[in-house]
């Protein structure tokens, strides 16, 4: 299977990750090209109707409804695409290999080591304590890797899985899987151990490296900003609550001032001066939004709203240094904004979390200023200051 082929299904509102690979199902004398879909909870769609599990897939293979062997001259069909007869048909896997592959995918989808990962764990244990018992564990776990996947175990395009074979094979025996292959000697074993020690060092060096421009992934835990209503008033002193768009933070834009980002956003969304002033005067951000639902909207608002929100957030955090410090204190954390809007926050399958993403950009701009980096200011007419 390919880990880059991603899919999912939703169960009780929860997203269950999955992946798939092509297979042949069989009905009577016809083979059908289908998808074998595997999910993190162990559910499997064999393409033969409904979900099953590993035991069910085993039974489907036993019955021949999922096929890993193909009869020459049999008729095949790719639904609504093509049909053909097999000539000199050869299959790349057998039942055992397919079941092992599927079991590995379930482990991977759950962030657990699969058969290859368990084998490499055994190698690490052997390097730390090179006893014969630990080497036999390497052998057992190597043999547990589906045969067609062993060649990929080390991710080495040149040596393939040869070092694993050399370590897993008993002294005086031909290499595992190669009855007529070379006999493993003490020197062969030493070469394999040297390979794995060099590999271990290379992996440690790679994992410890930091790119010249900084980490590739956040080093801080995700920051979740949950939009919350406080009937008795905002917490005093506030914490990350100041990062909510409803939080009272007067924003000055030209001759106008707004009580919060939410007020400004909705007031600017309407071209009607009367509605603009009413929305601005609303007691809370929530009230501003409810008033805006009744007001006329600018014809181009859907295209302009992202730029407007970016400008409002930039104004809030440049005009309120203490709030800017709260935002900067989140470091490089991924920011998740939880609200009722799929466009601005998270909470649905198609949510885009734009406020969270914009806050990360504003935070980066604040960090650049703190670092003494001068950035150009862009204007609506396309010009910029340097």
Task: List the CATH number of the domain containing 251.
Answer: 1.10.357.40
Q: How confident is the model at residue 386 (pLDDT cuts 50, 70, 90)?
A: very low
Q: Tell me if 202 is assigned to some domain.
A: yes
Q: Strand pairing of 66-67 and 14-27?
A: antiparallel
Q: Tell me if 215 is assigned to some domain.
A: no
pLDDT of residue 379: 55
Instruction: Please write the tens of the pLDDT for every residue from 37-68.
Output: 999 999 999 988 889 999 999 999 999 999 99
Among residues 59, 87, 109, which one ends one of the domains? 109
Cα 383 from Cα 62, distance rounded (Å): 70
Q: Are residues 129 and 100 in the same domain?
A: no
Q: Are residues 122 and 200 in the same domain?
A: yes
Cα 81 from Cα 74, distance rounded (Å): 17
Q: Are residues 105 and 120 in the same domain?
A: no
Q: Are residues 239 and 315 in the same domain?
A: yes
Asked if residues 267 and 258 have their Cβ atoms less than 8 Å apart, the reply is yes
Instruction: Please write the tens of the pLDDT for every residue from 347-382.
Output: 776 789 999 999 999 999 999 999 999 877 655 554
Among residues 185, 208, 231, which one ends one of the domains? 208
Q: Are residues 174 and 323 in the same domain?
A: no
List of long-range contacts for 79-86, beta carbons under 8 Å, 24+ apart: 79/32, 79/33, 86/31
Strand partners, 15: 10
Q: Are residues 376 and 232 in the same domain?
A: yes
Q: How confident is the model at residue 208 (pLDDT cuts 50, 70, 90)?
A: confident
Cα 129 from Cα 104, distance rounded (Å): 27
> Which domain, by its residues, includes 18?
6-109
Among residues 208, 237, 253, which one ends one of the domains? 208
Q: Are residues 48 and 181 in the same domain?
A: no
The CA R_g of the chain, rounded to the nearest whole Å, is 30
Q: Are residues 144 and 249 in the same domain?
A: no
Q: Are residues 268 and 184 in the same domain?
A: no
Tally of domains in the chain: 3
Cα 207 from Cα 61, distance rounded (Å): 41
Q: How many alpha carbons fall within 13 Å on the CB side of residue 195? A: 19
Cα 126 from Cα 135, distance rounded (Å): 6
Structure tokens at 76: 């095949």
- Determine whether 176 is exposed, middle or buried from the number of CB atoms within 10 Å of its CB (0-12, 13-18, 19+): buried
How far, in whole angstroms, is CA 93 from its chain's centroid? 29
Q: Are residues 63 and 144 in the same domain?
A: no
Q: Are residues 361 and 288 in the same domain?
A: yes
Q: Are residues 70 and 145 in the same domain?
A: no
Structure tokens at 124: 């690490």
**Inter-CA distances, 277 with 28, 191, 260, 288, 294, Å:** 73, 79, 14, 10, 14
């Amino acid at each position: 299977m390919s880990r880059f082929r991603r899919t999912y299904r939703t169960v009780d509102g929860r997203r269950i990750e999955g992946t798939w690979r092509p297979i042949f199902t069989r009905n009577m004398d016809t083979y059908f090209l289908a998808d074998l879909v595997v999910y993190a909870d162990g559910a499997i769609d064999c393409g033969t109707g409904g979900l099953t599990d590993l035991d069910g897939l085993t039974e489907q293979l036993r019955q021949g409804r999922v096929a890993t062997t193909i009869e020459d001259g049999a008729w095949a069909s790719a639904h609504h695409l093509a049909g053909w007869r097999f000539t000199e048909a050869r299959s790349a896997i057998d039942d055992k290999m397919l079941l092992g592959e599927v079991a590995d995918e379930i482990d991977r989808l759950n962030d657990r080591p699969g058969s290859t990962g368990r084998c490499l764990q055994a190698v690490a244990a052997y390097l730390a304590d090179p006893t014969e018992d630990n080497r036999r564990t390497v052998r057992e776990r190597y043999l547990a890797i589906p045969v067609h996947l062993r060649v990929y175990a080390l991710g080495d395009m040149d040596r393939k899985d040869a070092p694993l074979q050399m370590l897993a094979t008993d002294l005086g025996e031909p290499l595992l899987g190669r009855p007529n292959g070379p006999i493993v000697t003490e020197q062969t074993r030493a070469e394999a151990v040297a390979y794995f020690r060099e590999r271990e060092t290379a992996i440690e060096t790679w994992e410890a490296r930091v790119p010249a421009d900084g980490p590739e992934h956040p080093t801080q835990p995700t920051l979740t900003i949950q939009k919350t209503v406080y009937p008795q008033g905002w917490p005093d002193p506030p914490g990350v609550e100041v990062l909510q768009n409803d939080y009272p933070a007067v924003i000055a834009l030209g001759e106008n001032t707004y009580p919060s980002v939410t007020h400004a956003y909705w007031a600017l969304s309407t071209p009607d001066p009367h509605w603009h002033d009413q929305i601005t005067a609303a007691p809370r951000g929530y009230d501003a939004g409810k008033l805006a639902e009744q007001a006329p909207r600018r014809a181009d608002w859907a295209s302009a709203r992202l730029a407007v929100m970016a400008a409002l957030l930039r104004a809030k955090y440049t005009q309120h240094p203490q709030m800017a410090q709260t935002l900067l204190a989140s470091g490089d954390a991924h920011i998740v904004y939880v609200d009722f809007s799929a466009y601005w926050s998270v909470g649905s399958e198609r949510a885009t979390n734009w406020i969270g993403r914009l806050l990360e950009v504003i935070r980066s701009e604040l960090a650049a200023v703190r670092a003494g980096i001068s950035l150009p200011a862009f204007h609506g007419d396309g010009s910029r200051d340097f």
